[in-house]
Amino acid sequence: MRAKISDIAKIAGLSTASISRVLNNQGGYSKETAKRVMKIANDLGYFKDRSASDLARRSNNTIGVIYTDFETNFNDLVIKNIMIEAKKRHLDVILMIAQQNDPDGLTKIVQGMIERRVFAVQFISTHPSPQIIQMLNQAAIFPQVIGDATDHTVSYVSSDDMAIGYHATTYLIEKGYRSIGFVSPNITTDYVSHLRFSGYRKSLKEHGISFKSNWLFEESYSYQTGIHASAHYQKYGDVDAVIGVSDEVSWGLLNGFYDLNVSVPSDIALISIDGTELCSQTRPRLTSVTQDFALMGKTAIKQAPKKADPHRVTAVTIPFKINIRETS
């Protein structure tokens, strides 16, 4: 049976109020009393009920993090650094996984977070709907998206996705490439892809290059998309370089071209977007636009306020860089 404060009080010969003050470091007792109470608590195997404690003091030190089983692998970097920064700030973290394209399931998870009295909910690789944002604001809980820009009115910590598309394209043009493919999810329905494609088109236009429709291949962020795209370019595209919108896509492109006897970078150059450790594990190693996912995770924790203001929306842009490796 789980030990209770009343059990400690009975053995210590003190009131439950006195025991509660000791366990919650509220003062009004001697060091000797505190030492004796903590020893009794440890001997009994007592653990504080944090939910009850938070309710009593009308505050919470818990952040909720919701992520999806996404095709890309940057989630781990973000989550790892959320946990590191949260530990420094003595915050607890509740992690929940949501299925892709399941709005009802996501709503249910958010409702569970509200019931657990978290003070912020962070979304990784998934975007909350306006209804979910409103639900959190009404509950005075801070909603925040990490790793992606969003077209909804919600705080986020992300790279500048339009600038990523622009600089990836400009880098290839300055290397002498003029027919540049772009592989991504649907650029109309996927907001991040839309921004990156807009940056890509802007760079082409500034350098006097006319876009051709067969340079664009739309499917998803997955490895298999890269395989399919390589076959598309072999059959229809007269490209000399390709931008993969994720490391998994670029890995698929690299292997797909290898299977088709297309040499990278001699025949076609590749640049990947994300720059996770996968880029150093392929052969040849992938040139990448490298995002700082570790900094995103740490910054997101620093930005999360204890008291949510429904009218406070923060947009934090994290710098990125181009790592030149062996595919360009």
Lowest mean pLDDT among 17-26, 164-173, 233-242, 290-299: 17-26
State pLDDT tens for residues 117-153: 899 999 998 889 999 999 999 888 999 999 988 887 8
Residue-level pLDDT at 50: 57
Distance CA 268, CA 273 (A): 17
Distance CA 289, CA 84 (A): 25
pLDDT band at 57 (very low <50, low <70, confident <90, very high): low
User: Model's pTM, two decimal places?
Assistant: 0.83
Distance CA 303, CA 82 (A): 11
User: 287-291 and 320-323: which strand pairing?
Assistant: antiparallel
What average pLDDT score do residues 33-39 get? 94
Distance CA 91, CA 2 (A): 25
